[in-house]
Structure 1
Amino acid sequence: MPMTPTHPLSADRASRAAGGGALPLAGVRVLELGQLIAGPFATKMLGEFGAEILKVEPPGQGDPLRNWRLLHQGTSVWWQVQSRNKKSLSLDLREPEIQALVRRLAGECDVVVENFKPGTLEAWGLGWEDLHALYPRLIMLRVSGYGQTGPYRDRPGFGVVAEAMGGLRHLSGEPGRPPVRVGVSIGDSLSALHGVIGVLLALRVRAQQGVGQMVDVALYESVFNMMESLLPEYAVFGEVRQPAGSSLPGIAPSNAYACQDGYVLVAGNGDSIFRRLMALIGRPDLGDAPDLAHNTGRVARVDEIDAAIGAWAAARTQDEALEALNGARVPAGRIYDIADIATDPHYHARGMILDQPLPDGSPCQVPGIVPKLSATPGRIRAAAPALGQHTDEILASLGVDQATRNDWRARGLI
């Protein structure tokens, strides 16, 4: 732990950790100072595998995500996914008294997660240097648009900007048309995943060496890390990859093909798979052509190959095409919307559609937990909290008496 336990909260954490438990992060306490997606998605994953998440929200309004997208009785249903397994403390971080309290609370935690603009926590005396000096074993995950260093450090950064700067937006869409958004806040979520990896690595190092460290995650770098061969292709060949619609550039055939009632996605780019696919669609001439035996030759004739597969698909319904493709052992699938996902038997069999009633008992379904560990799988241990639901519990554990809590509450600090 970052410091010798001096509060019941610390002793309780030590007791839980000593007791083991089925979840791999049992006994790890995380202080979440972030909001919206990038920081909170990281803590969501840590919480699903046993970490105790103490989420700090502003009094009165809470995390803005509570009001994003579709609301049920005033609260976003997204909140039920992003904040499960968390405890909510409603604290005004702008107030010196609360900043001092949070410094104490950080000493009771293993990890602090934040996604404010760089410099914000420093202004409150809660930056990395401040906390690391007090608690050398503490780990801090910092997620920001451009990272904690560099000439763009102080620019405001959101996921959509990171997706553009990281190279993803340029590749999204149809050739010759304006670039399009992927459809979800993928820049934030990718950053959260990189953050989780960083925290787990830092916990491993701390177990070996006894010291914590800062994990610096930039949104644009998390996107750029997914950009495959873009940079070496440009460095070696001067090649700037362009949008390719539904096809997979440089890999053939891999595309979406129109059937009579929708599209099927076909990935026939393996050499033996290609031969089976051509036999299935009645084009053994293409399957047996020497110059199409390998991907390089197929890329050179991709338009011809796509036209042949497209003509075959156009004469069939989705179900007919998929039955034939699966029978020929050619990777293929339909393009799902959420209605398809919610009713798909494979999703249900894998535990990816879970029932999670809303606070008033209304039925709701939420995504399951990924990845799936065979011996210590993650789980939902608690529903998403009401704003400030655990403020008194945590502050009392820190030794803050009722009179002080009442005073802070009357002044709007909690």
Structure 2
Amino acid sequence: MNVAAEVQAKGKLAREAARTLANLNTARKNEALLAMARALEEEKDFILEANGRDMAAGKEKGLSRALLDRLLLNEKRIKDMAVSLRELVALPDPVGEVTSMWTRPNGLQIGRVRVPLGVIGIIYEARPNVTVDAAGLCLKTGNAVILRGGSEAFNSNRALTQVISRAATAAGIPEGAIQLIETTDREAVNLLLRANEYLDVLIPRGGAGLIRTVVENATVPVIETGVGNCHVYVDAAADLEMARNIVINAKTQRPGVCNAMETLLVHEKVAAEFLPSLAEALKEKGVVLRGCERTRQHVPWAEAATEEDWATEYLDLILAVRVVDSLEAALEHIHTYGTKHSEAIVTNDYQTAREFLARVDAAAVYVNASTRFTDGYEFGFGAEIGISTQKLHARGPMGPEQLTTFKYIIFGSGQIRQ
């Protein structure tokens, strides 16, 4: 089957499945999610063997440590995927929720009800866990999903899709509810971008290049998920031990994800005390520092930062560091280079914290906490389908509620418009 024929066939099947999914009851969807979770655990050897082939190919291609970390599956990560599916079961089903109801003077009763989006296309890079997260969330919300993962994770994605789609179908979910485009041909992406006949929305997950390509070329509506050029600002009134812990966590706990810190801003009043010891701790964890001139006065071994560094999402153990004169300077830097994803301040000054919260334009803004918490699971949404950095329809971690739209239902008693 050629690429166009595959996209068309799977699009038609997904459209038909979506009609049935939209009206499935919560119990049936939850049974399917539990079956998918069991299947992941029971067929872990099959999944790990497929992932092993991807990892070997990735190492041969010279993928970075961060990309290999994203690509890697092990028993714990498979277990975590199963846990996330089970946690979706415990969440409320948003489909069918009446969010408001009112009566007009003419007697018409008007209600607003949550309904599925329909068929969702997910285009993503080398993160096989997205396959399961996206499938689970779409199923919970009555949406069919067409997945197109990166070539680096081809074998892993195919194995995962086979396992969970078989389990879902056996549990009564219509065939075509969970599908993977099984080609690495880039033409498949181009076709999905214009598949308005089959897709209701596209969600890209990946680096800046992928997201830009989708946003600029799609005719299907797009929910733009975030490039994460995230900042932590250590204020003059910061608890420096707290700041140290937050910075190390935000940069090193998992550097290859979009909510990892990429730039550290430090107030000049605490730079001399804070930066040298922090830099040594980061160095021990393998972090390369790229600093402004004032940073390098305190950390002579840091590389000189360029203008490009301030705008870069490294997704690696590289950190840009800048000493700033004031909160105002920190805010201006974030405004200039931030991507509206996640920003944090460390301070014990209440008014400064309030000003930071009010003036930073981002999906998630933190006081005295790591940016690594911008995550659907950490926010209590179960799994997430992505982190939206746009402002229309959805913003921040996208859980079940963000994968629905609404329709109006109107009850009358014979009214006609005059």
TM-score by structure 1 length?
Answer: 0.30
As a proportion of its length, which structure holds more helix?
A: 2
As a proportion of its length, which structure holds more strand?
A: 2
TM-score by structure 2 length?
Answer: 0.29
Larger Rg: 1
